[in-house]
Chain A
């Protein structure tokens, strides 16, 4: 996407204007790198989970007297979060087309689903009957799910900002890096949940 003027400008060693930059926008590169660091953070937490599971004798699960994990509820939460990734992506596609109205709609729905997820997570916590201090399983369960929840919360904050900015008309088809960045982060949060769900609930 370069013009002859830009080609000449490059040749003469002058700078090309920011909005003619080729490749992925810098802010998106930054978000991608941040996500990479977050993957490593969760990697560390997963390592503690697997190590705990491998070194604990007897049944692996909630302590005596506590409820078993509610896989059904977790499954519902998974569905909610996966759906929210779809709605987020619809929003991104909308603004790429220049449709601010649909962007606002899909972002609001995504935010709602995210909040629903968090509420469901908190409800689950309230029903479990064990805490982070109740043995190895309790510790790794709450740490892994808790930090994931914290990241959902962070994503929700990002979505709120995107929604607010969209409502102020700050996004267009050519200028909506923040939407792309937040959506990448949101998809990441979803993928981490799938990993958490598979590990804790499915793998057992």
Chain B
């Protein structure tokens, strides 16, 4: 009993340890099932071969002093053909299953109800909801991708700089954000979520220094809640970044093509909060930071603008810069009484 039971138990534990997360999308479930089939086959092979090795180690160990040579088999055509044919069949079966599942994963509906453009950049995400708001993430606050459950959601994936990848482990899928000239490649993902909840996601294509920080969160909710949520963001967008009413002074600053500010010198008053109205007219995200005070404003997506409220500073010469492009985009901030 123990000789069979214990190994089976261990095997069960092993198999239980080797599973993807419980999928929360329809296609994720298909992939999970495919994985189970492959895992089962893998376990059979694993047990068979490792079992043989263990058996051979014990059974065929040379006894000390035994100098008689064992039978010198060179080969056996029959058995060699068999152990070529069987793996070939298994390969074909696995391939067939894979292609079937692949077709389901790659299927696209004619007209998905929800389309969201996902833009990745070093090192955060921008979500542009079709006919809706744009949400830009930052290291301090990874963005939330709100999606309804029960209907197809299509994501259009685009990178603003290097390669990235959109990955949600609980969807059992990822896809690269990658450029090919002339839009010859348009990466998309489509899924239908089956269960409301919060799902973690992050970039899964190494993209530089802060690749590890490029996270996001998926909030899946029923359609009604989704519509409300999106409306709320859209409304809140009209006053981003803080109370403009508090601004005694507002400085206008813009980012322009390519990787430049429209001025390299700005002035601000000392001893009081002041605002920077920042517009990003470049094709990649930018922000405004101040080196000496460690001020780091939120990232702004291309085409968007924001009003930064900068805490009061003492008189002096400072340097403002884009924290995303610190070498290219630098300027002088003079704070005067």
Contact = CB atoms under 8 A, between A and B. Distances in A.
Q: Are any A and B Cβ atoms less than 8 Å apart in their complex?
A: yes
Interface of A: 55-57, 136
Nearest to B184: A55
Contacts of B180: 55
A139 to B, nearest CB: 13
Nearest to A52: B181
A136 B184 CA distance: 16
B182 interface: yes
Interface magnitude class on chain B: under 10
9 contacts: A55-B180, A55-B181, A55-B182, A55-B184, A56-B181, A56-B182, A57-B181, A57-B182, A136-B181
Contacts of B184: 55
Nearest to A55: B181
A56 B182 CA distance: 7
Contacts of A55: 180-182, 184
Contacts of A57: 181-182
B334 to A, nearest CB: 38
B274 to A, nearest CB: 43
Interface string B161-197: 0000000000000000000111010000000000000
B27 to A, nearest CB: 30
Nearest to B181: A55
A56 B180 CA distance: 10
Interface in B212-267: none
Contacts of A136: 181
Nearest to B180: A55
B115 to A, nearest CB: 26
A55 B180 CA distance: 8
A147 to B, nearest CB: 23
A56 B184 CA distance: 10
